[in-house]
């Protein structure tokens, strides 16, 4: 079964819009810092501004790739303190002269407004179980599963391929929290171990950008019979968070054609996690009352 983005996005946007109405946040703004001239970043920021409008919010795009660190930190501080501002995000990558300040800039964002979830306190609050906040991309991969009611992790085994700060690590912490036995793999995971891990898993998340890393050679009914505690393909859910392109065609980490009719569920690339990410960014303005301060 293909787990497609469309209904998930509609559902999430409805939820966000409802929250906005209930809390009278119409016409408030989300501050989006675009501090580079990266073309892809410009497109993403534009998509986010469009989504903001759809949700009756306003996107205040803060430009200025030449600006110094201090000026940027001050402006983030102003957004933190402005009650008309419901979220702050900084589009990565930064212009090169700002690279060394990336952490400082990210950590300046008030956790209550850190809709992208890149600051330290956001990560820790969530990892340690104080709240359930997750950055937009890992959140998107779970929101799809929730929508299709394939998000029962207790007693289950999950393999996560790749250990990035943006996806692999927060996802590892989140799924540990949700009761899964989590296997986190990386480029130094021997092939045989990866094969065995995939065989024993109910859920597989992959975010390497390597074309069809998860394919028949490494995961099939046959490889599953090799290991005593295997889960058959038709019980497996595959979440593809990879994204690459070859000759103008976008592809993911998983060989969708091969798995599509065999597994319980698979998110395709394109058309799966990607488009849900922007909706999750805005869904993150929903901030439950917290007790920690």
Site map (CB under 8 A) of its own copies, residues 178-217, x = contact: -xxxxxxxx-xxx-xx--xx--x-----------------
HEC string for 44-76? HHHHHHHHHHHCCCEEEEECCCCCCHHHHHHHH
* Using rule CB under 8 A, residue 69 touches its own copies: no
CA-nearest of 257, 258, 240 to 162 is: 240
List the interface residues with its own copies, window 149-178 (CB under 8 A): 154-155, 157, 163, 165, 168-169, 172-173, 176-177
Site map (CB under 8 A) of its own copies, residues 221-240, x = contact: -----xxxx-----------
Q: 136-147 vs 168-177: helix axis angle to the nearest 10?
A: 50
Give me the least distance between CB of 86 and its own copies, in Å please: 23
Sign of CA dihedral 272, 40, 91, 279: negative
Beta strand pairing call for 244-246 and 203-206:
unpaired
List the interface residues with its own copies, window 96-115 (CB under 8 A): 100, 103-104, 107
CB nearer to its own copies: give 100 or 234. 100
Give me the least distance between CB of 177 and its own copies, in Å please: 8
**Assigned token pair, 162:** 């790749």
Q: Which of 2, 4, 127, 218 binds its own copies (CB under 8 A)?
A: 127
Residue 267 near residue 3 (C-beta atoms within 8 A): yes
User: Helix (H, G, I), strand (E, B), or coil: what is residue 154?
Assistant: coil
Using CA atoms, how far apart are residues 58 and 26, in angstroms rounded to an integer?
A: 8
* Using rule CB under 8 A, residue 10 touches its own copies: no
Q: Which of 2, 61, 92, 121 binds its own copies (CB under 8 A)?
A: 121
* Using rule CB under 8 A, residue 125 touches its own copies: yes
Instruction: Enumerate binding residues for its own copies (CB under 8 A).
Output: 100, 103-104, 107, 120-121, 123-125, 127-130, 154-155, 157, 163, 165, 168-169, 172-173, 176-177, 179-186, 188-190, 192-193, 196-197, 200, 226-229, 291-293
């Amino acid at each position: 079964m293909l787990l497609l983005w469309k209904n998930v996005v509609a559902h999430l946007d409805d939820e966000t819009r409802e929250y906005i109405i209930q809390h009278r946040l119409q016409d408030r703004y989300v501050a989006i810092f675009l501090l580079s001239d990266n073309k892809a970043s410009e497109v993403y920021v534009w998509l986010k501004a469009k989504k903001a409008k759809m949700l009756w919010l306003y996107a205040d795009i803060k430009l200025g790739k030449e600006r110094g660190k201090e000026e940027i930190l001050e402006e983030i501080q102003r957004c933190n303190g402005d009650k008309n501002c419901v979220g702050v995000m900084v589009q990565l990558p930064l212009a090169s002269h700002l690279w060394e300040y990336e952490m400082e800039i990210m950590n300046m964002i008030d956790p209550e407004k850190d809709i992208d979830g890149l600051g330290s306190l956001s990560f820790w609050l969530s990892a340690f179980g104080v709240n359930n906040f997750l950055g937009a991309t890992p959140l998107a991969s779970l929101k799809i599963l929730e929508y299709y009611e394939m998000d029962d992790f207790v007693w289950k085994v999950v393999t996560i391929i790749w250990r990035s700060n943006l996806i692999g690590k927060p996802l590892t912490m989140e799924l540990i929290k949700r009761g899964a036995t989590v296997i986190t793999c990386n480029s130094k995971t021997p092939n045989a171990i990866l094969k065995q891990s995939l065989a024993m898993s109910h859920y597989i998340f992959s975010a390497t950008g390597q074309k069809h890393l998860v394919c028949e050679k490494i995961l099939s009914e046959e490889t599953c019979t090799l290991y005593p505690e295997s889960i058959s393909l038709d019980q497996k859910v595959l979440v593809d968070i990879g994204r690459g392109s070859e000759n103008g065609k976008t592809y993911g980490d998983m060989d969708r054609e091969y798995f599509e009719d065999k597994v319980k569920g698979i998110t395709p690339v394109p058309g799966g996690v990607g488009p849900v990410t922007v909706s999750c960014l805005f869904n993150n303005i929903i901030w439950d009352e917290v007790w920690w301060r």
